[in-house]
Amino acid sequence: MSDAPLYQLVYYSRNEVSGDEAAFAAAIHSILEASRRNNEAAGITGTLLFNAGVFAQVLEGPLPAVEDTFERIQQDERHGDVSLLVLEPIVERSFAGWAMGFVGNSSGNAERFADVGLLSGFDPKALGGQKVHAILRELTIEEETGRP
């Protein structure tokens, strides 16, 4: 990866994927596959969470790459009401090992995030960018490594 300054972007959006559970699973698989391929090429790391109809995501990398990726997300018909929570410089990556981690495979993590969501009415904006980042970091590490 380059020596360019690093930035972190945290956003959330409304799920616009329609269809049954199989269609949704296929859409998530497609999003993750494309994200991992594109992010690796652009020097972006991060994680994605889907919960209760909302996507929440952290992107990290050089500012131009992060902005280009966020622009594509805003144009993606699977995302509605895309809302930026944080865009700021960072010293180091929180998700250095993941071109795109994913939180949502384990029922335990889904339940844990649901509890946090209930406290805020499932509103990532009420949680704020730093809290969403912290939740996603903790859950991604657990889900991707299989340990707390």
CATH of the domain at 69: 3.30.70.100
Question: Does the residue 1 lie in any domain?
Answer: no
What's the CA gap between 82 and 73, in Å, rounded?
Answer: 8
| Domain contains 72 | yes
CA contacts within 13 A on the Cβ side of 80: 7
Residue 125 in any domain: the answer is yes
For residue range 44-69, list pLDDT tens digits in order: 999 888 765 788 899 999 999 999 99
User: Residue 117's domain spans which residues?
Assistant: 6-145
Note the pTM of the prediction, 2 decimals: 0.79
Q: Is residue 105 part of a domain?
A: yes
How is residue 9 written in tokens?
């972007």
Contacts of 65 (CB under 8 A, 6+ apart): 42, 43, 44
Tens-digit pLDDT profile for residues 84-131: 999 999 999 999 888 887 766 544 545 555 544 444 455 677 777 888
- How many domains would you assign to the chain? 1
**CA–CA distance, 132 with 54 (Å, rounded to integer):** 12
DSSP state of 143: H
What does the DSSP assignment read for 91-137? SS-S-TT-SSEEE-SSHHHHHHHHHHHHHTTS-HHHH-HHHHHHHHH
